[in-house]
Structure 1
Amino acid sequence: MSNNKSNGWTRRSLLRGMAIAGVAPLLPGIAVAGQDELALVHDGSAADLFVDQADDPAVARAAGDLAADLARVSGVRPRLQRTTSGLSGTAVLIGTIGASPVIDRLIAEGRLDVAGVAGRWEASVTQVVRRPLPGVDRALVIAGSDRRGAVYGIYDTSERIGVSPWHWWADVPVARRGTVGVEAGTVKRGEPSVRYRGIFINDEQNLTTWSNRTQERDKNIGPETYKRIFELLLRLKANYLWPAMHPYTDHFNKHRDSVRLADEYGIVVGSSHPEALLRNGVHEWQPWAEAHRNPDGSLPEYDYTVNPGVIAEYWRARARENAAFESSWTIGMRGLHDSAFQTRHAKTVPEKVAVMNQIITDQRRILAEEVGAAATPQIFIPYKEVLDLYNAGVRVPEDITLVWPDDNHGNMRQMPTGEEQRRPGGNGLYYHISYWGSPKSYLWLDTTQLSKIWQELRRAHEHRVDRLWVINVGDIKSQEAGLSFCMDLAWDINRWGAGNVEDFLVEWAGRQFGQRHGREIAAIRTEFARLAAERRPEFVDRGSISLVHHGDEAGARMAAHEALLTRTRALGRQLPPAYQDAFFELVEYPVHGAYLMNLKYYWADRNALAARQGRGAGVNRYAELSEAAHAQEEALTRRYTTEIAGGKWNGVVNPYPSQIPQAPGRPAVVRVTPQQTSGLGVAAEGNETGAARPLSFSSYPRDRRFVDVFNTGFRSFPWRATTSHPWVRVSAISGTVTDQVRVWVSIDWQRAPLGRHEATVTFTGAGRSLSVPLRVHNDGEQARRRATGFVEAHGYVSIDAAHFHRRVPRGGADWRAVTGLGRRQAAVEAVPSTAVPITEDLTTRSPELSYRIRFTSTGTFPVTVFRLPSLDARGKRRLAIALDDGPAVVLSGQAIATGKKDDAWARNVTEGVEKLTGSLTVSTPGEHVLRLLMVDPAMVVDQIVVDTGGLPATYLAPPESYHPGAADRPAAAVDGFPNA
């Protein structure tokens, strides 16, 4: 648990800022120096910085960054002194407790308060002390419990004077001013919630390209690039790294300067699950094998059942080489380059378990002999097939940290048992916010909802997974917000809760772009992530989202994307020129890129539908629009890599890197030969063509329905619409059709008679008339006002799970709403995640959520519960539903993380939900109560849909049913998706 007493300066200081070019940055501690503040720069003079000669090099190096940051803000660079002689009257004294005599003397004299800091892990205190040294009137003292505690205290100060951790990596500008001050109050930063916090640079083709072009020239990620990465990690209060490891990248240990620099910065370097004892098998095994050939001249296999001696010496060499550095040692074995564990002479699971146990024993002996007591931490990562072996009996010594993986798509596969939680080595996690692999890859944009990250990582921490968090960030770029949140959460797990995760974005965006813009940027990022939760832009493919149902499901989604882009551009125009590059990188490019990726597939689907409908001009028009969207997307990325920040990011962003074949590309389109013909066609909502499925209208949701009036040829013609009743409305009664006109049909509910009625709209043109049938159900305004819950209409009831009318906690468990989670605005989670499952007497013992429903139909109806696809390989994933006082129906998630491309798990992670199905019987029409009951904890429910006989099969759930407080549906564009 975190012992943080403060995660920042006081609220008063937090809200101060200098109005620079119309921007009020949210930069805590920026203020003109007053009587309660200490001026670090004033009238062209800067306070000296002091770090004792005896202190750790990491502290002195970070102090140099503080000097550079003060220069960025003020234009004046302070001196960094290593002795106390001749220090300025105002100074900054920096040091590690026990390694800095000046710091230790102030503590001994009772002038520096280190209670809750001394003896802790990576803790620090920042305090103003009067006359700490001869000739120094006042000093800002930054003292760390250890070297990284001091380093974090330094970077804390940098951020508070206005330098974002992302100032270099995202070109966030630094507001300039002549006077720089910090508040004089004492600030303590206690121990972090998670001991080791860091990243895995993985599937790094883009980062490698960029590094080679802009940083290293003769290297594919080397010391110059790692300097930038190390500094970013420290500014984010991280301390841990799994370096890049793929074939197109130089392995970390190839350039020994990288290894040395990590230690100088204070970064703990480990290695990923296939890289035992810091060995990179992709690059290093082949040369080693060639130098240690078998007696017959053949190359030894990387198989411990065949060549244990050669492999053990291979590991030993690296242990000996890196023994002097602060490292993390990966124990166990997988195949080369992220392949499965190879055991030619061990075929059964028990045999493989025995081999793994022997490997662990031998590796431990190597570390004891070559590294000794410093060989800590040691970690075991039961990733993919190794998890099955672990569960089958692999014995991991108690002092080794178990690092639990997710399923590569943000769902933790397994949580430690109570016994595992008590292990001295503790527990860690390996979590993806970027991934290459099955069933689809997502490396391009930062698309994982922060509330999803919070829900999964919080759940892990509740299971005492707090020793190590490794976040797979791909190429780093594009993952700025997600990485920042992960590290912030790892530092203080309690800072953000179920209802305020978006506040992190408000604060984070405010620090990059100004406090007055933080709320709007946070709202944009939240909606961007919600749309990605429906389907990530990297997962977009053909025919997934309906063009014909629910008011054009795909068109409505595109309209939401376009509205978000319009909102984003409007905000961007308010920012000064200095902020444009950062805004493009962190906000505009993700929003615009996702829009264009979806757009080209939307038009490609429209193109295919038009071809099936036998259209003429529309087929070619939609083909052109799809290809134009792809060209715009290419131009947008080209702007990022050639223009933004003067071309600084050459190659770092690419939706289609050659090594990522799963990425969506340019969708195929068809064209037809133009003919001088014309013909009338219609496609009423719910039909690909024609109107066999009547348009349904209800006085409760009062929604509209569309009819596409289209041309089967290429020559324009006039058309006209007539209605069978005066209370049937159409958005247009006549016009000219070139390829398509979308006509919206609605009901004048004040004029329509009560009851059930049938009506028609008839379209005439090109010598033909086509009628569209309507079915209208009008219960009247009084019935609408009397509704107390969700009202069945159109053959279904659709419920957002967070819109319950009653919550009943029971047995120490409860449901809570988590905002910003799932496909809508919030989802509900059964908590705590450590609660005991309830399997008996569910309707009286289980915590429940209740939903009032007015049914007009009777019968036994299918019920689908949309839940987020969290996992637990050793447990169950169950919840239950009940109607009124009826029995509970248990619904169970069956999918397990297989890594395959075409099974239930693959479908769930692609869609972002698992659909649990059951049935309930409604014996009488009228008011009823649907009850959602917890069986297993940590189940997260997004939506609930009851199919009473009219529900078409679609990707998304239908629009939420009318209920008290529900707003009337907003009007959609007259011609469907705008810009058609």
Structure 2
Amino acid sequence: MRSVPLLAPPALLAPAAPAAASPTPNGPSRVEGYVVDRPGPGRFPPASRGRAAAIVVSDADHPGVVRVVGDLPDDVERVTGVRPELATLDGTSGRTAVPRGDVVIVGTVGRSPLIDGLVERGTLDVSTIAGRWETSLQQVVHDPVPGVRRAFVIAGSDQRGTIFGAYDVSREIGVSPRHWWADVPPAHRAELHVLPGRHGQGTPAVKYRGFSVDDENPALGRWAPRHFGNGHAPGSPALAGGKWHGFQTQPKIGCGDVARYGPTASWQQPERDGEALPDAVFPAVERVDLPQAAEMGVAVDGPDQWWPAAGGSPALPAFSPHQSQPGRYVDVFNRGTIPFDYRATPGAAWLHVDRPHGTVDDQVRLDVRVDWSRAPKGRTTVPIEITGAGVPVTVHAVVEHDLVAPRGFVEANGYVSIEAANATRVVAGDGVRWRRIPDLGRTGDAMEPFPVTAPSREPLTRTGPRLEHDLTVRSDGPVTVWAHLSPRNPVLPGPGLRYAVSFDDQPPQVVDITAATGADDTTTNRQRERNTSDNVNRTATGHRLDAGAHTLEFWVVDPTVVVQKLVVDSGGLRSSYLGPPESRGVH
């Protein structure tokens, strides 16, 4: 394969073609997803058809940049299975050559001869990033030097700008920023193509960033010297190829046992003389010897009881064609040591058990499902007769099949759960708009009204900003709307932080979050601590609805309310840390 020099003397360079895309007045725009899986006009292929473009950096660049560029071939190979060539060019002589064809060029403005040469020849415009703090630019250019048809350029305004730009490309191709720390494997992509245009992250909004490490000893206290200095760490040498050797030394049980470990145990791990002690066994382990017999027990999805010991007949949570929870199941288990045969017989042909008969050694899980094309409309209770080891147990399956055509998010199992960002309609008004904030919610994106300097809105009018969510409830009766909000402080004088909720054309109910929860950010009381540690503030309003379709409206009252999720409880909501999964919708 022929090679061409990338650092040729300027006199030998042909006039450069203009850049692939002209800069915008405000510089490179942040475009989510600038690396796609298909070729197209103007797109650059970092990897395509089993080949990868060479990656080029100058050794005259910052040492940190040269180090980070060394990660790019690893990341491309992790995603595509193809490893690109890495060429580190001699910044003095320029004699190092790379394969002819498309290349990826990485460098820092004012430090890399590669980047500065492109700028001098008019091939690359860096005016929108030069001199800025930690800012990067990604752009496809044509004819950067003779013999090279195209180049994908990653340029930074300073050392960290280039580093962030390189790692942003890794993130775009599918490598998690937590790849190393959390051992997150990327999804395979056979093709990688960069969209034409100018892409960038912009200048960081926060100039100085950092993170704090808690409970650093013994895990980090032993692990860090092993990787970065003298020392040997105990622990498992096998996990992840030994990378986390020393991280299995943190006790998990025993904190707070002052009588055993001394006065620091109220906040510190069990330790003596600065060294962690092994886990205490709590509660004490007790061996249970099973009888030499066959004895059937039955447990169902939901309760913590088992039958026939609990008495009566167990019932599965209701089935619905709109449920978003995992499928329903029945566990048949052996309370002895001798295996036994079992049989499970549903009382309707449209109710199916995946393993209707078999042998139980320890435990067998039976998945139960409904054939909705054959199930009758309305509410039906179907028995499932289970027999084994001479013991019968009847499990009741409650099946709820809609009598009316639903609209929007549909109630199942006694609730409707909606991620706020999935509103049916996002309504702006009176100078206030909504902004979607990715991943801010505990289970999804969050929504916040902007600008945050907008005045409070009271009384509310139909022209005001709101989120509208279409939904359907199955029956008449009272409902409770739980608003899952991000914990925020009130920023305006007067009452605490407020929002409002209404259904259809009913008057909105205003909720003062501060008054409703008792959370006080000025004293950082217990409720405030709980809200911030859970990253949620839950408040409720009561309403009454008729069966059928409705529109739930979430209104802006104060500007800094951030809503994550809305849950309508019609009587079946069960307590959980993150709240129920989002309901299925009919739109």
**SS of residue matched to 2:228:** helix
Which residue of structure 2 aligns with residue 800 of structure 1? Answer: 419
Matches within 5 A, 1:623-772: 638-640=237-239, 643=241, 651=246, 661=269, 671-689=287-305, 690=307, 694-697=315-318, 700-701=321-322, 704-772=327-395
* 1:856–1:122 distance in 2 versus 1, CA, 3 Å: closer
Q: Partners of 1:64 and 1:707 in 2: how far apart?
A: 58
CA contact (8 A) 1:700 1:962 kept: no
Does 2:536 match 1:933?
no
The one-letter amino acid paired with 2:425 is R
The one-letter amino acid paired with 2:478 is T
The one-letter amino acid paired with 1:806 is R
Which residue of structure 2 aligns with residue 213 of structure 1? Answer: 226
Q: Partners of 1:932 and 1:156 in 2: how far apart?
A: 38
More helix by share: 1
Q: Partners of 1:670 and 1:120 in 2: how far apart?
A: 65
Structure 1 residue 882, shift from structure 2 partner: 0.5
Structure 1 residue 758, shift from structure 2 partner: 3.1
Q: Partners of 1:161 and 1:749 in 2: how far apart?
A: 46
CA contact (8 A) 2:136 2:162 kept: no
The one-letter amino acid paired with 1:682 is V
Q: Partners of 1:758 and 1:866 in 2: how far apart?
A: 34
**SS of residue matched to 2:238:** helix
Q: Partners of 1:79 and 1:963 in 2: how far apart?
A: 59
The one-letter amino acid paired with 1:772 is V
Which residue of structure 2 aligns with residue 958 of structure 1? Answer: 580
CA contact (8 A) 2:346 2:383 kept: yes
**Aligned with residue 865 of structure 1, among 483, 502, 523:** 483
Does 2:450 match 1:849?
no
Q: What is the CA deviation profile of residues 276-329 of structure 1, one whole-angstrom value per residue up to 9, with x for unaligned ones?
A: xxxxxxxxxxxxxxxxxxxxxxxxxxxxxxxxxxxxxxxxxxxxxxxxxxxxxx
The one-letter amino acid paired with 2:400 is H
Matches within 5 A, 1:470-869: 638-640=237-239, 643=241, 651=246, 661=269, 671-689=287-305, 690=307, 694-697=315-318, 700-701=321-322, 704-779=327-402, 783=404, 786-824=405-443, 826-832=444-450, 834-867=452-485, 869=486
Matches within 5 A, 1:159-178: none
**SS of residue matched to 1:802:** helix
User: What is the number of equivalent residue pairs in this alignment?
Assistant: 469
* 1:843–1:672 distance in 2 versus 1, CA, 3 Å: farther
* 1:828–1:62 distance in 2 versus 1, CA, 3 Å: closer
* 1:874–1:653 distance in 2 versus 1, CA, 3 Å: farther
**SS of residue matched to 1:772:** strand
**SS of residue matched to 2:345:** strand
Q: What is the CA deviation profile of residues 177-202 of structure 1, one whole-angstrom value per residue up to 9, with x for unaligned ones?
A: xxxxxxxxx99999934473342464
**SS of residue matched to 2:208:** strand
Q: What is the CA deviation profile of residues 59-116 of structure 1, one whole-angstrom value per residue up to 9, with x for unaligned ones?
A: 887799799999x9979876566xxxxx669999x9998x9xxx99xx99x9998866
Q: Partners of 1:870 and 1:667 in 2: how far apart?
A: 35
**SS of residue matched to 1:879:** strand
* 1:193–1:742 distance in 2 versus 1, CA, 3 Å: closer
Structure 1 residue 887, shift from structure 2 partner: 1.8
Q: Partners of 2:343 and 2:541 in 1: how far apart?
A: 46
**SS of residue matched to 1:949:** coil
Structure 1 residue 829, shift from structure 2 partner: 0.6
Which residue of structure 1 aligns with residue 10 of structure 2? Answer: none
Structure 1 residue 897, shift from structure 2 partner: 6.1
Q: Partners of 1:60 and 1:779 in 2: how far apart?
A: 65
Which residue of structure 2 aligns with residue 196 of structure 1? Answer: 207
* 1:211–1:961 distance in 2 versus 1, CA, 3 Å: closer
Q: Partners of 1:95 and 1:754 in 2: how far apart?
A: 67
Q: Partners of 2:484 and 2:499 in 1: how far apart?
A: 11
The one-letter amino acid paired with 2:382 is A
* 1:811–1:736 distance in 2 versus 1, CA, 3 Å: same
CA contact (8 A) 1:126 1:153 kept: no
The one-letter amino acid paired with 2:489 is D
Q: What is the CA deviation profile of residues 779-799 of structure 1, one whole-angstrom value per residue up to 9, with x for unaligned ones?
A: 46xx4xx32223334332233
CA contact (8 A) 2:28 2:202 kept: no
CA contact (8 A) 1:684 1:707 kept: yes
* 1:731–1:887 distance in 2 versus 1, CA, 3 Å: same
Unaligned runs of 5+ in 2: 1-24, 36-40, 75-83, 98-104, 142-152, 184-196, 256-266, 271-275
Q: Partners of 1:112 and 1:727 in 2: how far apart?
A: 66
The one-letter amino acid paired with 2:509 is V
**SS of residue matched to 2:550:** strand
Does 2:44 match 1:15?
yes
* 1:683–1:899 distance in 2 versus 1, CA, 3 Å: farther
* 1:776–1:60 distance in 2 versus 1, CA, 3 Å: closer
Matches within 5 A, 1:171-186: none
* 1:844–1:198 distance in 2 versus 1, CA, 3 Å: same
TM-score scaled to structure 2, two decimals? 0.61
CA contact (8 A) 1:846 1:935 kept: no
TM-score scaled to structure 1, two decimals? 0.39
CA contact (8 A) 1:827 1:941 kept: no
* 1:728–1:810 distance in 2 versus 1, CA, 3 Å: same
Q: What is the CA deviation profile of residues 652-684 of structure 1, one whole-angstrom value per residue up to 9, with x for unaligned ones?
A: 787669997499989866541121133232223
CA contact (8 A) 1:815 1:829 kept: yes
Structure 1 residue 872, shift from structure 2 partner: 2.0
CA contact (8 A) 2:28 2:137 kept: no
More strand by share: 2
Matches within 5 A, 1:242-257: none
CA contact (8 A) 2:471 2:549 kept: yes
Matches within 5 A, 1:62-81: none
CA contact (8 A) 2:434 2:449 kept: yes
Q: Partners of 1:748 and 1:724 in 2: how far apart?
A: 13
Matches within 5 A, 1:882-893: 882-893=502-513
* 1:667–1:125 distance in 2 versus 1, CA, 3 Å: same
* 1:639–1:871 distance in 2 versus 1, CA, 3 Å: farther
Structure 1 residue 809, shift from structure 2 partner: 1.0
Q: Partners of 2:544 and 2:532 in 1: how far apart?
A: 31
**SS of residue matched to 1:917:** strand
* 1:706–1:899 distance in 2 versus 1, CA, 3 Å: farther
More contact order relative to length (CA 8 Å, sep ≥ 6): 2
Q: Partners of 1:76 and 1:687 in 2: how far apart?
A: 62
The one-letter amino acid paired with 1:762 is E
**SS of residue matched to 1:933:** strand
Structure 1 residue 837, shift from structure 2 partner: 4.8
* 1:660–1:871 distance in 2 versus 1, CA, 3 Å: farther
What percent identity do the matched residue pairs reach? 30
Q: Partners of 2:340 and 2:547 in 1: how far apart?
A: 49
Q: What is the CA deviation profile of residues 102-143 of structure 1, one whole-angstrom value per residue up to 9, with x for unaligned ones?
A: x99xx99x9998866777667899999xxxxxxxxxxxxx9x
**SS of residue matched to 2:237:** helix
CA contact (8 A) 1:697 1:774 kept: yes
Structure 1 residue 769, shift from structure 2 partner: 1.6
* 1:745–1:200 distance in 2 versus 1, CA, 3 Å: closer
CA contact (8 A) 2:340 2:360 kept: yes
